[in-house]
Amino acid sequence: MDIEKVNSMDFGEFVDVFGNVIERCPLIAAAVWSQRPFSNLEDLEKHFFAFIDALPQSGQEGILRCHPDLAGRELQRGTLTAESQREQRSAGLTSLGADERLRLAELNAQYRARFGFPFVLAARLSDPAAVRRELARRLHRPPAQELRTALGEVKKIGHLRLAELLGAHPATL
């Protein structure tokens, strides 16, 4: 899809197409639509990320809470968004053994208890061992640093999703 097509979309179509660029946050796409026309993918992306950056901390944490646990209950129940399902599958998280799932569930629970939101990672850039290592490493960070890191991961995910929607090769992250 080219940027002219994006700029010609009506509100409903834009939200339908871009509503899950930021996981389960179609309101962001609804707000970004008002910023048309976009000059290119980077410009479109800039508006998504500026919206996130302009939110108070409670809003940023809310965005993080919209993300599922990696290899968590939603994956087991089949209730992930299509995008999250693809991303977790590409990271090998859909084929974990019971022991691996249990270990990730324990780490996810510790992380959520410490920070108040789920561990967010651009899964398609990872594998199960790297997910576990990163989760264990980030679990001990100061909360303000972890909030910044988690929002950076949201932006990586958004970047990859936008690039996929527009048929662009994502730049190196």
CA separation for the pair 86, 83 (Å, rounded): 5
Residue 37 DSSP class = P
Task: Please give the sequence-ordered ranges of beta strands (E in DSSP) within 7-124, or none if there are none.
Answer: none
Whether the Cβ atoms of residue 67 and residue 153 lie closer than 8 Å to each other? no
Give 125's contacts (C-beta < 8 A, 6+ positions apart): 91, 156, 160, 173
Please identify every residue annotated as catalytic.
67
Which residue is listed with tokens 């990872």?
126
Q: Which pair of tokens denotes residue 39?
A: 């000059």
How many Å apart are CA 42 and CA 134, to the nearest integer? 28
User: Which DSSP helix (H) or strand (E) runs through 114?
Assistant: helix 98-115
